[in-house]
DNA sequence: AATAATTTTTAGATTTACCTAAAAATAAAA
DNA sequence: TTTTATTTTTAGGTAAATCTAAAAATTATT
């Protein structure tokens, strides 16, 4: 059994490992909003428990057990987010903090039944895949909107930034999950992208375009 | 902001205060499954925070703030229990431990929306009243089944024992909330009570009869 | 390769919630 | 009203998760 804190560390390491193979102390500290010294302490404990592999000064990687535990927490987080949005009418920018707490409730029965109650959803409100009870999920093939060329089209199926400010911005522009878009222009001056959504033209900055994930349905 | 542990202490003191005016250290220790010395430590902290009034060796009482906090936790506990039973199909004997964790999730928005989602229920799966968002609830007038005389009838509207063993036993006998009952006999030998429920005769021990709460609808 | 900058780890403390064992206060019995 | 039993509190300690400041290791730059 892991503590609330250990679970948060495992989840953080799991997410960081999606970007870099070896996860560094400083990266964990930044993500967890804590000090590198504290991270080192926790890293030792997790290594002792066999949840991570750790070589001094070389960063960490999750063991099989560690990875499974992390995925289980991610599963809970995302299922709770679906619950909050689908059943309690939260907006997609309001769910993160509450899910951050709910993900630590430890009943297995609870999460199985919640999954069923929600109709075994495959993705959370931000388009992130929900692992099934065995920890399996399809690694979705996304393209960043910024990578599309003029004329390319596709469907918004995810975001790689979960801040409330960003999500509210997208909402205001009508750029929500499932929306069909087409790139109509890329501005020379600042690289901002002009896109067609639901018969409207909207202009988004490069920064925004970087964090919108598209499942491409045809290049031209 | 209180810690998980402080909240559990407040809730325990609140429940004990329903029976005795001054709540004693030992009683808290027993309920919390901890040692009297630990209770004294916590009592001092809660008194410093203005959540309880405390005179050394004389036990404690909740302050207004302390009571409100406790009621809020009780509200969350009972709403989550309703959610588990009504929406996730848990049995009434399976919900306590999970609710014990869920009651500490601290979003106010969450609990308001959950309340609405559940249709503003007035009672939890064990018949206990659910305080509204202002902490108000009707003090229900229950009579213990054991206090009924032969011929008296009423409706099962609560239980004063939440153990899984007890609740499963009631379920097996068909003695669930809302059921109409009538006392047909009280055995001289062991004081066990014979009652009429849904055209069946069942015999229950004094111990069981003590923990079934009846809203009486007529003596004879 | 030597020096400087960065990253990571150790050392030593703090806070929270516990614990055991012993002392002090209160309540009950003789 | 002593004596005895019970309850409660203090004293002193442990374990988890954090911190700051300083030392050690690694990486980057001259
Ligand atoms: Mn989230
Ligand atoms: Mn999400
Ligand atoms: Mn309960
Ligand atoms: Mn209940």
> Does the pLDDT at position A194 exceed 70?
yes
Section A38-48 average pLDDT? 94
In a domain, residue A122? The reply is no
| Interatomic distance B82 CA / C23 C1' (Å) | 48
| Residue A131 belongs to a domain | no
| CA B114/CA A90 separation, integer angstroms | 11
pLDDT at A219: 43
Mean pLDDT of A88-115: 96
User: CA of A134, closest CA in chain B: separation in Å?
Assistant: 21
Mean pLDDT of chain A: 94
Instruction: Tell me if B101 and A106 make a contact (CB, 8 A cut-off).
Output: yes
- Do the Cβ atoms of B94 and A109 come within 8 Å? yes
pTM of the complete model beyond 0.85: yes
DSSP state of B190: T
Residue A71 domain-assigned (yes or no) = no
For A143-190, how does the pLDDT look when each residue is reduced to its tens digit (9 = 90+)?
A: 999 999 999 999 999 999 999 999 999 999 999 999 999 999 999 999
Q: Which two tokens stand for residue B149?
A: 């005389």
Which residue has its C-alpha nearest to nucleotide D6's C1'? B26
A176 to each of A93, B37, B67, B136, how far by Cα in Å?
A: 11, 56, 44, 40
Q: Which two tokens stand for residue B72?
A: 């809020």
Instruction: Give the residue-averaged pLDDT of B21-29.
Output: 94
* Max CA pair span of chain A: 57
Nearest to B88 by CA among A112, A75, A87: A112
Contact B57, B51 (CB under 8 A): no
Q: Which of residues 2-41 of A touch strand C (CB under 7 A)?
A: 24-27, 36-37, 39-41
**Residue at B38 is within a domain:** yes
Cβ-Cβ contacts under 8 Å for A127 (sequence gap 6 or more): A140, A156, A157, A158, A159, A177, A213
Of B89, B90, B105, the CB nearest to A102: B105
- Answer with the one of A28, A44, A62 that is the final residue of a domain: A62
A90 contact residues in B (CB cutoff 8 A): 109, 113
Give the pLDDT score at B26. Answer: 95
Give the integer Cα–Cα distance in Å for A33 and A130.
26
Question: For residue A209, what are the β-bridge partners?
Answer: none
| A35 assigned to some structural domain | yes
Distance of residue B132 Cα from the nearest chain A Cα, in angstroms: 18
Residues 6+ apart with CB under 8 A from B70: B10, B11, B13, B14, B62
Query: Which nucleotide across the nucleic acid strands is nearest to B3, CA versus C1'?
Result: C16
**Tens of pLDDT along B30-65?**
999 999 999 999 999 999 999 999 999 999 999 999
Half-sphere exposure of A33 (CA within 13 A, CB side): 2
Residue B2: the pLDDT is 86
| Secondary structure letter of residue A135 according to DSSP | S
Q: Region B209-213: what's the mean pLDDT?
A: 97
State yes or no: pLDDT of A127 exceeds 60: yes
SS3 (DSSP) at A100: helix
Is B220 a residue whose pLDDT tops 80? no
Which ligand has the shortest distance to the CA of A103? 1
Residue keyed to tokens 């004063």? B160
- Distance (Å, rounded) from C-alpha B181 to C-alpha B152? 9
Reported confidence tier of residue A60, pLDDT bands at 50, 70, 90? very high
Return the ∠ at Cα B42 (arms to B105 and B19), rounded to 5°.
80
Query: For the purposes of burial, counting CB atoms within 10 Å of the CB of B182, is it exposed (0-12), middle (13-18) or buried (19 or more)?
Result: middle
- Three-state DSSP class for residue A36: helix
Tokens of B175: 């003695």
Span B156-179, mean pLDDT? 96
Residues in B closer than 8 angstroms to A101, CB to CB, are: 105-107
* A184 within a domain of the structure (yes/no): yes
Q: Could you give the number of structural domains in chain A?
A: 2
Rounded Cα gap, residues A118 and B159, in angstroms: 31
Report helix, strand or coil for A93. Answer: coil
Sign for the pseudo-dihedral over CA of A82, A86, A88, A90: positive
* pLDDT at residue A217 in the model: 66
Other C-beta atoms within 10 Å of B35: how many?
A: 12
With b meaning 16 or more CB within 10 Å and e meaning fewer, what string describes B55-93?
A: eeeebbbbbeebbebbbbbbbbbbbbbbbbbebbebebb
Mean pLDDT of A101-120: 97
Check which CATH number belongs to the domain holding A21 and give it. Answer: 1.10.10.10
Phi/psi of residue A62, nearest 5 degrees? -75, 140
pLDDT attached to residue B217: 66
Average pLDDT, chain B: 94
B195 located within any domain: yes
CATH number for the domain that contains residue A177: 2.30.30.90
pLDDT score for B181:
97
Q: Which domain holds residue A30?
A: 4-62
Of A94, A105, A109, nearest to B102 by CB-CB distance is A105
Tokens 């960063």 sit at which residue?
A59
User: How large is the average pLDDT for residues A86-109?
Assistant: 96
CB B195, CB B184: distance < 8 Å: yes
Residue B219 in this model has a pLDDT that exceeds 50: no
C1'-nearest nucleotide to the CA of B8: C17
- CB atoms near residue A100 (< 10 Å): 14
For chain B, percent of residues with pLDDT exceeding 90 = 92
Sign of dihedral through CA atoms A28, A33, A37, A40?
Answer: negative
- Dig out the tokens for A158 from the structure: 């995810």
Q: Please indicate whether, in this complex, the C-beta atoms of B89 and A113 are within 8 angstroms of each other.
A: yes
Under 8 Å between Cβ of B215 and B157: yes
Dihedral pair phi/psi, residue A196, rounded to 5°:
-105, 120
Could you tell me if residue A196 is inside a domain? yes
CA distance B194 to B205: 9
Residue A220: the pLDDT is 40
A208: pLDDT strictly greater than 60: yes
């Amino acid at each position: 059994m892991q503590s609330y804190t250990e679970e948060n560390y495992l989840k953080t390491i799991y997410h960081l490992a999606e970007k870099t193979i070896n996860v560094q102390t400083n990266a964990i500290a930044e993500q967890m909003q804590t000090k590198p010294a504290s991270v080192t302490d926790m890293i030792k404990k997790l290594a002792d428990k066999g949840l991570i592999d750790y070589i001094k000064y070389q960063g960490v990687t999750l063991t099989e057990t560690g990875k499974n535990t992390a995925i289980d927490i991610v599963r809970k987080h995302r299922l709770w987010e679906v619950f909050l949005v689908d059943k309690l009418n939260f907006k997609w920018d309001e769910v993160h903090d509450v899910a951050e707490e709910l993900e630590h409730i430890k009943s297995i029965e609870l999460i199985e039944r919640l999954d069923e109650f929600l109709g075994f959803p495959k993705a959370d409100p931000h388009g992130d895949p929900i692992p099934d009870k065995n920890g399996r999920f399809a690694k979705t093939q996304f393209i960043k909107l910024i990578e599309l060329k003029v004329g390319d089209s596709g469907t918004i199926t995810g975001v790689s930034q979960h801040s409330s400010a960003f999500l509210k911005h997208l909402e205001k522009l009508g750029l929500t999950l499932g929306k069909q878009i087409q790139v109509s222009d890329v501005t020379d001056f600042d690289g901002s992208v002009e896109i067609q959504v639901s018969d409207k033209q909207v202009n988004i900055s490069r920064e925004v375009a970087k964090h919108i994930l598209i499942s491409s349905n045809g290049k031209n």
